[in-house]
Amino acid sequence: MPKPLTVELLQKEATSFAKAESKHPEPSLFGVTDGKAVGTYLEHKFQTLLQKRYTYGRGNSAKGIDFPELGVDIKVTSIRQPQSSCPFKSARQKIYGLGYSLIVFVYDKRDDEKSRTCRLDIQHTIFVQKERTSDYQTTSGLRRLIENNANRDDILAFFEDRYMPFEEPAAVRLAEKVLRHPPAIGSLGGYRQMKWRSSFDRLIACAS
């Protein structure tokens, strides 16, 4: 009988899956350069394996993440272009995180012309706690300000400098929250202005 899936079991299975998949020659992805197609392949294959062994609620587009009951989402990225397919949806997420944890598979795809197969060498399998799914530069900057006895106006100026647009009441409330509850240092990279796409460069560098 399948047993209930837990976060600990999910992490263990992800590590085992990565080791096995790194040795697997896959003909369907030979010549494929679309990172989204590779990500879909790995996510579906991992989910199929889990469904044979465990009981759990599988996510869908309505629920937003892959394991809603566990509060975990899967991300797949190439080590050559380590970018997330999931942007930050707000400045608040850049400060306090996405609200769920991540399992990140980082692969290097290698095609074999002779066998016309590819091998997805999964070089890192990284688990990121939800508190650390925020932007490194934003959170570290705020922590430095707080350590230097910043006040609310200093935090508001930081928001403005980093192009984090808010209506004034919301900005004031968030600045006051930052002072009361300083954010954890985030693990993800990000972009300034209105480009909210997140990046895994820093995460991979720390795992290497």
CATH class of 3-85+100-133+198-207: alpha beta
Among residues 89, 186, 201, 183, the alpha carbon closest in space to that of 137 is found at 186
Residue 91 reports pLDDT greater than 60: yes
Question: pLDDT for 11-51, tens place per residue?
Answer: 999 999 999 999 999 999 999 999 889 999 999 999 999 99
Residue 208 reports pLDDT greater than 80: no
Number of residues in the chain: 208
* Residue carrying the six token digits 């006040």: 151
Question: pLDDT for 141-181, tens place per residue?
Answer: 999 999 999 999 999 999 988 877 677 788 899 999 999 99
Strand residues in the chain grouped as ranges (E):
3-4, 25-26, 54-55, 72-78, 101-112, 117-128
How many Å apart are CA 5 and CA 195, to the nearest integer?
36
How many Å apart are CA 97 and CA 183, to the nearest integer?
9
How do the residues of the chain divide into helix, strand and coil, expressed in percent and rounded to 5?
40, 20, 35
The residue type of 143 is: R
Q: Is the pTM of this model over 0.85?
A: yes
Residue 191's pLDDT band (cuts 50, 70, 90): low
Residue 194: what pLDDT? 44
Among residues 107, 126, 112, the alpha carbon closest in space to that of 38 is found at 107
Residue 82 reports pLDDT greater than 60: yes
Q: Which of 66-80, 144-158, 189-203 has the lowest mean pLDDT?
A: 189-203
Question: pLDDT for 111-126, tens place per residue?
Answer: 999 999 999 999 999 9
| Phi/psi-derived region of residue 193, left when phi > 0, alpha when psi is between -120 and 50, beta in every other case | left
**What does the domain layout of the chain look like in residue ranges?**
3-85+100-133+198-207, 136-180
Q: What is the mean pLDDT of the chain?
A: 89
